[in-house]
Amino acid sequence: MTEPAGAGIGLLVCQPERRRRLAAELLEMGYVLAFDGDPFTLTAEAVEQLRPGVWLLEMSDDWALTDLLLEQAGVPVFCGAGDMPVTDSEDYPRWRRRLQQRLGEVLGVPHNVARPVVGEHGTQAWSVWLLAASMGGPAAVKAFLDRLPADLPVGFIYAQHIDPGFEQQLPRIVGRDNGWEVVNCHNGQAIGCGQVLIAPIGQRVHFSADRRARLLAQPWPGPYQPSIEVLLDELGRSFQPACGAIIFSGMGEDGVEACARLRERGIEIWTQDASATCTVMPDAVYQAGHSTLQGTPEQLADALQDWLQHESPARDYQ
């Protein structure tokens, strides 16, 4: 596959399987691949004609065209992408973030990647967190949102165990007087900056490759609606690495096993402390060793603001 001169990344990797994996990663980041074929088929003339934005080189030292690449004016050469961890490892998000930073310094942000825009409601959020709660949850989540400025480059999925009769009232309950746009989930909806998307009770939701909600014609599995366990897995699959979860007041242990899976991938899991009306659900996550931070809703809001400013991988796209 090739693109016009000056476009994207020229991927020169001798090992076919690694070349395939790197190509998939780069495409997922939103970059164009100027070349991702067999590098041994390239000629000196083809290298001169391609002239991508950057070469990503992983070839043996005696490859015939290495010197030509290094001498090609105006086209930087990155020698290697580093050891690529498996996608479910704790090191994977860091490896991916480092590669994005290196490429971003030369190529900038891909045009087809959503950029978080501070203060602009509705712009598709690059960073997405899950707010999970049960008994006592609405009051805790409202206190959290009341404290958190609504112009931050983040959006939320809100999973609340609640009687179906109150589902349509949740936006008014937790979004009153705080500036956050709290909405019930609709098919095809993207999560915008400054928005809180309420997970539906009666239908399972899945997030597609374009990070939009897709309502499925099936109920949530298990005893809880919505299933925090399922939504945590959806979060990690669709929004990593710029994501996290906060477990607020509630009964039961919904989500504990999924929290373990997210922590293995380096994703933040925070829990409400003894300020919770019901501490069973956040305590279950904490006692299992998966919570990286405990606090009141207000303290967690302050911590998230700090995370967005200093630690979020989405900072590379602002």
pTM of the predicted protein model: 0.64
CATH homologous superfamily, domain 127-317: Methylesterase CheB, C-terminal domain (3.40.50.180)
Query: Which residue is listed with tokens 């030292």?
Result: 61
pLDDT of amino acid 122: 56
Which is the catalytic residue, given 127, 227, 249, 254? 254
What is the separation of C-alpha 202 from the centre of its chain, rounded to a whole number of angstroms? 25
Full pLDDT tens readout for the chain, 318 residues: 433 334 588 889 988 888 888 887 887 777 877 787 788 888 888 888 878 888 888 888 788 888 888 887 678 888 888 888 877 677 888 888 888 888 888 888 765 444 443 334 557 888 999 999 999 999 999 999 999 999 999 999 999 999 988 899 999 999 998 999 999 998 888 899 999 999 999 999 988 767 888 888 788 989 999 999 999 999 998 888 899 999 999 999 999 999 999 999 899 999 999 999 999 999 999 999 999 999 999 999 999 999 998 887 755 444
- CB distance 89 to 77 below 8 Å: no
Residue from 267, 269, 243 nearest 255 by CA: 269
Which is the catalytic residue, given 134, 238, 275, 291? 134
Which is the catalytic residue, given 127, 161, 249, 290? 161
Whether 134 is catalytic: yes
297: left (phi over 0), alpha (psi -120 to 50) or beta: alpha
Whether 254 is catalytic: yes
